[in-house]
Amino acid sequence: MNIFDYSIVVIYLVLLVAMGFSFRQQTTKNDYFLGGRNLGWKALTLSVMATQLSAISFVSAPAFVGLREGGGLHWLSYELGVPLAMLLILSTILPALYRTGFISIYDYLEQRFGRSTRILISFVFQFSRAFATGIMIYAVSLILQGTMGIEAWQAIVLTGVITVLYSLQGGMKAVVYGDAIQMIIIVLGTVACIGFGLYHLGGVDAFVSQVDPSRLQAIKPDSFGFDGEGFGLLPMIFGGFVLYASYYGCDQTQAQRALAAKNTRELKFMMLANATIRFPITLLYCFSGLIVGTLAMSDSSFMQQIPTENPDWMMPIFILNYLPHGMIGILVVAILAAAMSSLSSAINSLAAVSIEDYCRLTNKTYAPHEYLKKAKYVGLTWGVITLVLSLYAGDIAPTVIEAINKVGSVFYGPILAVFLLAVIDKKLVARHINLGLIMGVAINIFVWLVLENIFWFWWNFIGFVSAIFVAYVMKLLLGGEIKKSVAELTLEKADSILTKTDVVILLGAFVTMIVICLLLPSLFV
């Protein structure tokens, strides 16, 4: 990097902070945490995708597809469950959560089942989100260390301080509009990598003739995920369906965007856009990986610079050695942007859940200005906690990243079951649902520890089905009455916001993804 590249990075960071301060005039908690519930679907769509397609995806997905042993285009199978997940949550969970007007989605669980269910799931969210975000920031700091020539701790502080400044000042509006800008930069950066990669390879024909055919298979229909193999078609569909439904509908970082929409129409468009646009963007990531990976395999000097044990360095080394100055700065901004989008979302959501939990548990109420002041202090605290975790993640990060994904899959299914049953069945009460939740998690832990050959994506589906089954068994055995007010809340908020056209779009997106994945290998023949 030269002075031109550094100037681009500095200008971007200054403008980002300025944007945050421009949104600092909030008067209520809805303004701060939900953007006044006045945000449109376009900005919200970009914000959600920026958080989902993080810095790790920008770097690791191409490395997996293009270079990592056992990798290839079957990374795309992670996306297959998204349209089906949107179909479920748009017809059940998200309309219910939106119409309550709550800031924390876990408020709904307390109203429906009681405080014990709320505390249990809220704690799991806060612990896992802070920990996972800390690991992600650490991983990105290593990449920035290599590209910007700074120490890892300096990269962590740079990323953290700037993100905390603009997200705390501007609240949800700063997070959403910051994410939207960052998503555009990420996509343009990926397109730039594809273009320059093809240029250095000698064009499309040279790429097609040199690409490794073994990396072109996107679907593995012969793998069922029960023999130690991963990425089979069925586990990626069923497990992905539960995982994404839980993440988009029952995780505060994502659901909070839905709660910030102007109305249910904007909410629906946001989710439909995510269901249809995510896949093409992931395709871009994957093609950039194929192209740059093919270049690395054909250029021994490039390959020698990539650590054998860490192929994630493929993209940063490509950026530094094959892109012109100015473009290098933009691509470093893209990596920073991706990291910041994940961190800003985590800080805002953690603060929302924490302060709402505190007010509920202590039965305290605050004047609007006092609430906002405390919310910013809570957000700052979570920012510090996350960055401290990042600073001390070095010894465990390589193994913990995979462990975090597995731990998430232990909980995602049972948590989705809790929210879904809260919306669709008025006769279940706290003891039914809590036992279902606990047993769903326990069964997943048993599968993890004892049935080692079951691919961890299945855990999402297993936990989901187990929690529902146990909840209904407990209902039959224990019985129970539900208060009328809660029954009314549940029934009135369970309406679907989908039309027949929307259902066709989502199912069509799912079928289209399958067809594209099946046809991809033949496109390179």
* Digit-coded pLDDT (tens) for 29-53: 888 888 888 889 998 998 888 777 6
pLDDT average, residue stretch 237-251: 93
pLDDT higher than threshold 70 for residue 520: yes
In a domain? residue 25:
no
Percentage of residues in the chain having pLDDT higher than 90: 28
pLDDT at 197: 93
Q: Which of residues 323 and 341 earns the better pLDDT score?
A: 323
Q: What is the pLDDT averaged over residues 83-89? A: 95
Q: Which amino acid is at 495?
A: D
Contacts 24+ apart (CB under 8 A), 370-374: 371/29, 372/26, 372/27, 372/28, 372/29, 372/32
Q: At what angle do helices 41-52 and 152-201 cross, to 10 degrees?
A: 100
Would you place residue 495 in the very low, low, confident or very high pLDDT band (cuts 50, 70, 90)? low
- Decide if pLDDT at 400 tops 70: no
Is residue 493 predicted with pLDDT exceeding 50?
Answer: no
Distance CA 407, CA 253 (A): 17
CA angle 222, 225, 231 (to 5 degrees): 75
208: left (phi over 0), alpha (psi -120 to 50) or beta: alpha
What is the per-residue pLDDT for 403? 61
Cα 35 from Cα 370, distance rounded (Å)? 18
Q: Is residue 463 in a domain?
A: yes
Over the chain, what is the mean pLDDT?
Answer: 85
Q: What's the pLDDT score for residue 389?
A: 82
Q: Cα–Cα distance between 123 and 437 in angstroms, integer?
A: 14
Bridge partners, residue 232, by sequence: 220
Q: What is the pLDDT of residue 54?
A: 65
Specify whether the CB–CB gap between 109 and 117 falls below 8 A.
Answer: yes
Domain assignment present for 30: no
Q: How far apart are CA 454 and CA 445, in angstroms?
A: 12
Map residue 499 onto helix, strand or coil. coil
In this predicted model, which residue has the larger pLDDT, 2 or 82? 82
Is the pLDDT score of 347 beyond 70? yes
Expressed as residue numbers, the domain containing 178 is: 3-8+38-523
- pLDDT grade for 395, boundaries at 50, 70 and 90: low
The CATH number of residue 43's host domain is 1.20.1730.10
Looking at the structure of the chain, the number of domains it has is 1
Predicted TM-score (pTM) of the model is: 0.87
Q: Is the confidence at residue 413, as pLDDT, over 70?
A: yes
Average the pLDDT over 84-100 and give the result. Answer: 92
The alpha-carbon radius of gyration of the chain (Å, integer) is 23
Q: Provide DSSP, 373-429.
A: HHHHHHHHHHHHHHHHHHHT-TTTHHHHHHHHHHHHHHHHHHHHHHHHHHHH-TT--
State residue 358's pLDDT score: 82
pLDDT of residue 290: 93
CA distance 505 to 90: 13
| Residue environment code for 212-242, b if the CB has 16+ CB neighbours within 10 A, otherwise e | eeebbbbbbeebebeeeebbbbbbbbbbbbb
Q: CB under 8 Å to 101, separation ≥6 — which residues? A: none
Residue 335 covered by a domain: yes
CA atoms within 13 A on the CB side of 468: 15
- Segment 465-471 shows an average pLDDT of 95
Q: Is the pLDDT of residue 98 over 80?
A: yes
Most confident range (mean pLDDT) of 13-22, 295-304, 327-336 is 295-304
pLDDT 10s digits, 270-325? 999 999 999 999 999 899 999 999 999 988 899 988 888 778 788 888 988 898 98
Confidence at residue 55, expressed as pLDDT on a 0 to 100 scale: 64
Measure Cα distances from 394 to 40, 156, 164, 210 in Å: 39, 12, 22, 37
Instruction: Please give the full DSSP string across 156-183, using - where no structure is assigned.
Output: HHHHHHHHHHHHHHHHHHHHHHHHHHHH
User: What pLDDT score was predicted for residue 398?
Assistant: 47
In a domain, 157, yes or no: yes
Determine the Cα–Cα distance for residues 58 and 76; give it in Å rounded to an integer: 14
**pLDDT range class, residue 397, cuts 50, 70, 90:** very low
Question: Which pLDDT score, from 0 to 100, does residue 327 have?
Answer: 86
pLDDT at 402 over 70: no
Residue 294: what pLDDT?
Answer: 93
| C-alpha pair distances (Å), 511 with each of 82, 83, 506 | 12, 10, 9
Residue 480 is predicted with a pLDDT of 61
User: 397 lies in a domain?
Assistant: yes
| 426, part of any domain | yes
**CA–CA separation, 492 and 198 (whole Å):** 55
Q: Is residue 17 part of a domain?
A: no
**pLDDT for 289:** 92
Q: How far apart are CA 176 and CA 211, in angstroms?
A: 38
SS3 percent helix, strand, coil of the chain, rounded to 5, is 80, 0, 20
Measured between alpha carbons, how far is 405 from 135 in angstroms, rounded to an integer? 12
Average pLDDT value for residue range 5-32: 83
Amino acid type, 2: N
Residue 194: predicted pLDDT:
93
Q: Is 220 in a helix, a strand, or coil?
A: strand
150 pLDDT higher than 90: no
513 pLDDT tier (thresholds 50, 70, 90) = very high
Neighbours of 62 (CB within 10 A): 32
Say which residue the tokens 């748009």 belong to. Answer: 90
Give the best-scoring range by mean pLDDT among 424-428, 473-477, 480-484.
473-477
The CA distance from 37 to 39, in Å, is 6
